[in-house]
């Protein structure tokens, strides 16, 4: 619970936490019993904050991709408790290079937006109608089974990231305090600590202090030298490579943030992943979205989960389509060549197939299939194999220009690309080729184009 000022502090504090206090011998921090195991590292935000100032941050922040407003403020507050800096540590002018200061065997897993306030153990932040004296917010905590954090709507909330907030309440600061309760901390007797029981306003509590750090380390242990750590990530197409340390040889898990709102809060996981100890490569699941990625090695304790590292699977250049196979001479020259304009982005829907070097004025058709091959067919080579799904024609056939050229705009919203076995989706690999009539020779084919589609 966070009190705005010392208004009836004894009553407010004893009602929520007095019975749980167990003071440390030297430090000011206290604990309320319990901790969050690896199955309770998730958190979500139900963004029902009514103040316009709670959702006026629309900055595109690389360390917090895909979200803005109150969600980002709470995300920043949570990762401040992480074992090491989040990404490059930037994102908050109050602490420009060190966002992620806990130094303990604890790291949270951001799981995006919830669709309701949830239950008391669903690990969701949300606003609450009304007011309760000087109380800003409170945490409901069975700890080991989860938690819920509520923010009273009678206050005017500010999402930052600026530090000039006037008379408004800094959501990031209050969320940082309340999340400390979810981790297992009570109020601190140290007036400079973020876990001190009252606030005089401002933004200084966005950053946890040494007493808070001592507290989270007392619960989860000082970050182990054997704890997995992510140093950097690389995305090529749908392949994610994670570079770091202390990954297990076998049995690693890679945790992602879910792409859609809702869900149970459970991370999207790729399991049983091998590693050489310092590098892991996985295919990004289609249900994963912008957020954080973490690695859990094959242990089960607090020290077996890595830091949270920001990732946006959609913030990448699509793989460039490439040609393969061979063309064959035709009545017009050395052979027809396939090419493209646009991108392999499904959302952009701007890919054009181009053919040149075919006999002028003849009819032809583009087609596609899932597999590459090279087998004699007509006067050329069939460079695509349909497998169980077969091949798909992009009808209708069309007449080539007087230069022997043709263009086909792809449309993933129409048949056969919109549904069924020929459906084109992010992550798919399809192969395209052009079939055409050749006067006096029967028919022939171009070389082929390999396209790996991205979001």
46's enclosing H/E stretch is strand 42-46
Residues 36 and 185 in one domain: yes
Residues 54 and 124 in one domain: yes
Residues 164 and 276 in one domain: no
153 within domain boundaries: yes
415 within domain boundaries: yes
State the pairing for strand pair 309-311/291-296. Answer: antiparallel
Query: What whole-number distance in Å separates Cα of residue 145 and Cα of residue 143?
Result: 5
- What is the DSSP track for 67-100? --HHHHHHHHHHHTTSSS-STTS-S-TTSTT---
- What is the DSSP track for 197-216? SB--SSSGGGS--HHHHHHH
| pLDDT computed for residue 317 by the predictor | 67
- Which CATH number characterizes residue 149's domain? 3.40.390.10
State the pairing for strand pair 124-128/146-152. Answer: parallel
445 within domain boundaries: yes
Dihedral angle computed from the Cα positions of residues 53, 56, 62 and 64, in that order, rounded to the nearest 10 degrees? 50
Per-residue pLDDT of the chain (455 residues; tens, 9 = 90+): 766 542 222 222 222 332 223 333 458 999 999 999 999 999 999 999 999 999 999 999 999 999 999 999 999 999 999 999 999 999 999 898 899 999 999 999 999 999 999 999 999 999 999 999 999 999 998 788 999 999 999 999 999 999 999 999 999 999 999 999 999 999 999 999 999 999 888 999 999 999 999 999 999 999 999 999 999 998 877 789 999 999 999 999 999 999 999 999 999 999 999 999 999 999 999 899 999 999 999 999 999 999 999 999 876 667 899 999 999 999 999 999 999 999 998 988 999 999 999 999 999 999 999 999 999 999 999 999 998 889 999 999 999 999 999 999 999 999 999 999 999 998 899 999 999 999 989 999 999 999 999 87
316 within domain boundaries: no
Residues 209 and 297 in one domain: no
Rg (CA), the chain: 28
| pLDDT computed for residue 19 by the predictor | 27
Dihedral angle computed from the Cα positions of residues 101, 105, 109 and 115, in that order, rounded to the nearest 10 degrees? -90
Residues 205 and 258 in one domain: no
Residues 43 and 177 in one domain: yes
Look at the block and give the residue holding tokens 């904050």. 49
Query: How far is CA 14 from each of CA 1, 11, 184, rounded to the nearest angstrom?
Result: 10, 5, 16
31 within domain boundaries: yes
| pLDDT computed for residue 316 by the predictor | 65
- Give residue 276's domain range: 229-311
43 within domain boundaries: yes
The DSSP secondary-structure symbol of 317 reads P
Query: What whole-number distance in Å separates Cα of residue 53 and Cα of residue 164?
Result: 12
End residue of a domain, out of 292, 311, 330: 311
Q: Considering its fold, how many domains does the chain have in total?
A: 3
317 within domain boundaries: no
**Helix 210-220 crosses helix 171-183 at what angle (to 10 degrees)?**
30
End residue of a domain, out of 311, 343, 377: 311
- What is the DSSP track for 228-280? -EEEEEEEETTEEEEEEE---SS-EEEEE-BSSS-S-SPPEEEEEE---SSEE
Residues 370 and 282 in one domain: no
Residues 262 and 279 in one domain: yes
183 within domain boundaries: yes
Residues 157 and 17 in one domain: yes
End residue of a domain, out of 201, 220, 239: 220
Residues 441 and 351 in one domain: yes
Query: What whole-number distance in Å separates Cα of residue 327 and Cα of residue 306?
Result: 50
Residues 240 and 160 in one domain: no
- Which CATH number characterizes residue 277's domain? 2.60.40
Residues 286 and 327 in one domain: no
End-to-end CA distance of the chain: 42
């Amino acid at each position: 619970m966070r009190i705005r000022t010392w208004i009836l502090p004894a009553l407010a504090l004893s009602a929520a936490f007095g019975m749980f206090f167990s003071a440390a011998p030297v430090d000011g921090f206290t604990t309320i019993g319990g901790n969050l195991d690896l199955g309770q590292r998730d958190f979500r935000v139900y963004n029902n904050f009514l103040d316009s100032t709670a959702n006026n941050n629309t900055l595109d922040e690389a360390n917090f991709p895909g979200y803005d407003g109150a969600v980002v403020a709470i995300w920043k507050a949570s990762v401040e408790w992480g074992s090491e800096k989040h990404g490059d540590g930037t994102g908050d002018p109050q602490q420009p290079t060190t966002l992620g200061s806990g130094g303990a065997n604890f790291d949270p897993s951001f799981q995006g937006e919830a669709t309701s306030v949830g239950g008391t153990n669903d690990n969701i932040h949300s606003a609450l109608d009304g007011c309760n004296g000087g109380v800003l917010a409170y945490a409901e905590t069975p700890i080991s089974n989860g938690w819920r954090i509520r923010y009273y709507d009678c206050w005017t909330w500010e999402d930052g990231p600026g530090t000039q907030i006037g008379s408004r309440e800094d959501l990031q600061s209050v969320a940082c305090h309340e999340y400390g309760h979810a981790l297992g901390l009570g109020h601190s007797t140290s007036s400079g600590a973020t876990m001190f029981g009252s606030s005089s306003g401002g933004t200084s509590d966005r950053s946890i202090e040494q007493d808070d750090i001592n507290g989270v380390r007392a619960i989860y242990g000082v970050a182990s030298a054997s704890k997995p750590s992510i140093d950097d990530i690389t995305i090529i197409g749908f392949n994610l490579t994670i570079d770091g340390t202390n990954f297990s040889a076998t049995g690693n898990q890679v945790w992602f943030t879910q792409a859609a709102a809702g869900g149970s809060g459970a991370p999207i996981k790729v399991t049983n992943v091998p590693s050489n100890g310092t590098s892991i490569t996985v295919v990004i699941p289609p249900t994963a979205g912008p957020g954080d990625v973490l690695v859990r090695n094959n242990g089960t304790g607090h020290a077996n989960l890595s830091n949270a590292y920001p990732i946006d699977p959609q913030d990448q250049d699509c793989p460039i389509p490439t040609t393969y196979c061979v063309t064959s001479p035709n009545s017009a020259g050395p052979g027809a060549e396939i090419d493209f304009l646009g991108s392999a982005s499904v959302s952009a829907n701007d890919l054009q197939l181009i053919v040149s070097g075919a006999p002028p004025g003849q009819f032809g058709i583009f087609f596609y299939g899932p597999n590459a091959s090279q087998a004699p067919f007509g006067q050329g080579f069939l460079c695509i194999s349909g497998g169980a799904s077969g091949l798909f024609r992009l009808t209708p056939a069309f007449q080539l220009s007087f230069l022997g050229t043709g263009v086909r705009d792809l449309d993933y919203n129409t048949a056969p690309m919109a549904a069924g076995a020929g459906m084109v989706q992010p992550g798919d690999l399809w192969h395209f080729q052009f079939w055409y009539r050749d006067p006096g020779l029967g028919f022939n084919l171009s070389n082929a184009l390999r396209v790996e589609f991205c979001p």
